Amino acid sequence: MISIYEAITGKIIDINELESFRLKKLKERKHRTLTAFISSISVAIISIVLSIIIYNGWVMITGIIIAVIIFLIVRGSQLVSIKKNIKENLLQSFFKAVIPEMSYSTYDHVSREQFEKSKFIWSYTHHSGENHFAGKLNNINIEFSELLLTETIDKIRLPVFTGPYFVIQFPDKFKGRTVVKPFSKETTADRKIGNFIQKIIKSGDPEISINDKSFNEEFKVFSTNENEAKNILTKEFRSFLLSYTLNSKTEAFFSINENKIYFGLNKFEDLFKIEVKKPINKNLLEKYYNNLKTLTNISEKLYELVDFAYKNPKIHDNRFLNYNDEIKY
């Protein structure tokens, strides 16, 4: 990655140009809003004239309602369109400058197939997302994006997963599949789906026991290879997972499957939020840069932890404890 300082001082990023684009789009919105207002007024006037001619007050009322609806729809769609244009222009330019080794797409996301291989969530009906990054970072093939998964229950769409999701390629194939799910997930989102999902959970991969009270209070572990799972879940790795859940509403998910490492943070903040009425300045770009750095650091730390544990099986038993000993954080 190129530092934010290098990008700005080296004129790789032109903040004035980005801000000019934002102001230009806001000006276009004002003109279009004025046009929509004039059109709506015309519809209202026509309805009033017709109601006078045919002596029918309902024509006037209907016309005014239609005029208001037209104005609100047009104004709302303009805001969405302009926000999308500003976001694409700003983030595409910014991320291309600071992280050229990775491709970036504003409105793409990690595929449904890649999410389902993680086995994080057993049931959801809608899969969407944005801010997709993919490429090789320090010789590690990484893909991540923000995801929004929802489950429709009784015609109500409930969020099941909202936050960054990572797919990291590992050079070797794992012996089995291991999934670490937040314990709270079994009592929040999954519970909303009903008893059926609980049956699916019970009939999935076997649940294994990790003799770590603090960890067990936050997570459940499922694996088709218990020895490999316990080798991977070292003290340091468990501390890493707990760091995202203790004293926070965030829920951390982790799994290994085939030759991929999967990681997700549910209930996470929108990292690259755009507010069209706020100026584009150095502070905003620094915020985006720091948030991106957080995501790349997570990717590299995950790989480092898994790679060390994979290459040094059970070394943590002798260094730290036996499996029958409880870790105290």
Please name the residue that has the structure tokens 């499996």. 323
The SS3 assignment for 69 reads helix
DSSP one-letter string for 39-54: HHHHHHHHHHHHHHHH
How confident is the model over 6-54, as pLDDT tens digits?
A: 766 666 778 888 888 888 888 887 887 788 788 888 887 888 887 888 8
**Dihedral of CA 184/185/188/190: which sign?**
negative
**Whole-number mean pLDDT of the chain?**
82
Cα Dmax for the chain: 94
Comparison of pLDDT for 291 and 269, the residue scoring more: 291
pTM of the model: 0.79
Closest-CA residue to 103 (of 135, 56, 57): 135
Question: What single-letter amino acid sits at 228?
Answer: E
DSSP one-letter string for 130-193: EEEEEEEETTEEEEEEEEEEEEEETTEEEEEEEEEEEEEE-SS--SS-EEEEEGGGGTTHHHHH
Highest mean pLDDT among 70-79, 196-205, 234-243: 234-243
The SS3 assignment for 35 reads helix
How confident is the model over 65-85, as pLDDT tens digits?
A: 887 888 787 777 777 777 788
Q: Has residue 111 got a pLDDT over 90? A: yes
